[in-house]
Amino acid sequence: MIRSVITGTGSALPANCVTNADLAAKVDTSDEWIVERTGIRQRYIADDSETTSSLATVAARNALDAAGIDAGEIGLIVLATATPDHTFPATATQVQAALGCGGGVAFDVQAVCSGFLYALATADSLLRTGLAGKALVIGSETFSRILDWDDRTTCVLFGDGAGAVVLEAQDVAEDGPGILASRLHADGQHKDMLFVDGGPSTTGTVGKLRMKGREVFRHAVVNLADVLKEVLDETGKCAADIDWVVPHQANARILDATARKLELPVEKIVVTVDRHANTSAASVPLALDTAMRDGRIQPGDLVMFEAMGGGFTWGASLVRF
Ligand code: ACO
């Protein structure tokens, strides 16, 4: 059977690491408050020379190296971001040019923190139709550009970064590697709980992120547990079959609450929120690359990705490595 197989991962972080103590020097907050409520200890913040496309390009190069393939073999780039370099062209096309891919299909997907899950499911579908043989799926964000640094309830939560995977259509056995199932959801009724108060068609400005944190927290735990169960049911697997969960890294308490709901041991959850904070669409591939490079995820492992974000949008994918 033809499946989309992850054959390489990569990531990139800005050079500038900002600790909670650094933030507390400028914002009315404290390391203790941030760690207790979120688990975040530091985040990376892009300088003027670092953009969503430049971070994405480095992450993509690292993923290509890990997969052992040339940029010229890539026929499809799907890039998830809510912080593109420009309103258009798509940031994916800038990455395509920087990598020297020389053709194929490239476009952006916008589902905020669930963006990587949406991009992965989209690329998986397109590969299985035969549109391309090899794809790059990238999540890249510079959320620092849309934060209100006077709003302590949001500015302490986010960071910048990028992660990428190489996805290849391969003929594999039933118990072989690849994306086994993906489920995506959206519910546009809750826009006011998490949104950016600007845009080209409304204010003509870029705008700043606004969030009702408590309500987002409540919806996140319920929606994530539901979508994880859906994917397990669809594939005939149970929580005990999962080797690793690579979740969207919003908040350590959301990760703990979701794990408890599913009766998943916390040791199986890949956590990077302490080092990266919430990097929106970049967080799942950044965490994945961390767990691939430190040797936690091994060939044959069954890995669940999950994310929830503005919209609301949410989703999960079950992948065999
Ligand atoms: N430093 C110090 N004090 C703060 C800070 C801060 N950075 N931010 C808020 N406070 C204060 C508030 O003013 C409030 O003070 P008060 O009691 O005197 O009014 C107090 O802390 C409690 O505020 P709450 O907002 O009720 O705090 P809560 O326990 O809900 O934690 C948080 C806030 C961390 C945002 C939490 O609601 C949360 O994690 N929500 C999920 C949001 C999220 O992760 N969003 C990411 C995008 S969506 C996604 O990725 C899933």
Of the candidates 62, 155, 223, 248, the residue annotated as catalytic is 248
Nearest to 282, CA basis, from 43, 20, 88: 43
Specify whether 120 is located in the same domain as 186. no
Cβ atoms of 229 and 185 closer than 8 Å? no
pLDDT band at 261 (very low <50, low <70, confident <90, very high): confident
Q: Of 152, 171, 190, which residue is a domain's last?
A: 171
- Give yes or no for residue 242 CB within 6 A of ligand 1: no
Same domain, 90 and 197: no
CB of 190 closer than 6 angstroms to any ligand 1 atom: no
Whether residues 23 and 162 share a domain: the answer is yes
If asked whether residues 37 and 105 sit together in one domain, one would say yes
Q: Which of 29-43, 46-60, 181-195, 252-266 has the lowest mean pLDDT?
A: 252-266
Local confidence band at 263 (pLDDT 50, 70, 90 cut-offs): confident
Nearest CA to ligand 1 atom 1: 29
d(CA 319, CA 60) in angstroms, rounded, equals 20
CA angle, residues 269, 63, 81, in degrees to nearest 5: 75
Domain region containing 224: 178-320
If asked whether residues 9 and 111 sit together in one domain, one would say: yes
Residues 133, 183, single domain; the answer is no
Q: What pLDDT score does 214 carry?
A: 92
- pLDDT greater than 90 at residue 180: yes
**Judgement on whether residues 72 and 121 belong to the same structural domain of the protein:** yes
Q: 171, 202, 220 — which closes off a domain?
A: 171
- Shared domain check, 118 and 54: yes
Residues 212 and 155 in one domain: no
What pLDDT score was predicted for residue 114? 98
Ligand 1 pocket, 249 CB below 6 A? Answer: no
Report the relative pairing of strands 160-171 and 194-196 from DSSP bridges.
unpaired
Name the packing angle between helices 252-262 and 213-235 (round to 10°): 40
Q: Looking at residue 313, what is its pLDDT?
A: 97
Rounded to whole angstroms, how far apart are CA atoms 136 and 109?
13
Pairwise CA distance, residues 205 & 199, whole Å: 5
Q: Is the pLDDT at 196 greater than 90, yes or no? A: yes
Q: How many domains does the chain have?
A: 2
The distance of Cα 158 from the centroid of its chain, to the nearest Å, equals 13
The CATH number that applies at residue 95 is 3.40.47.10
153, 171, 189 — which closes off a domain? 171
Q: Name the residue at shortest CA distance from atom 35 of ligand 1.
A: 213
* Mean pLDDT of the region 61-80: 98
Q: Is 155 a catalytic residue?
A: no
Crossing angle of the two packed helices 115-129 and 283-293, in degrees rounded to 10: 80
Q: What is the C-alpha to C-alpha distance for residues 81 and 140, in angstroms, rounded to an integer?
A: 6
Continuous H helices in 251-313: 252-262, 273-276, 283-293
Which residue of the set 101, 113, 223, 251 is catalytic? 113
Q: Are residues 143 and 310 in contact, defined by beta-carbon separation less than 8 angstroms?
A: no
Asked if the model's pLDDT at residue 127 lies above 90, the reply is: yes
Q: How far apart are CA 215 and CA 64, in angstroms?
A: 39
Bridge partners (DSSP) of residue 44 are 17
Element (H, E) at 275: helix 273-276
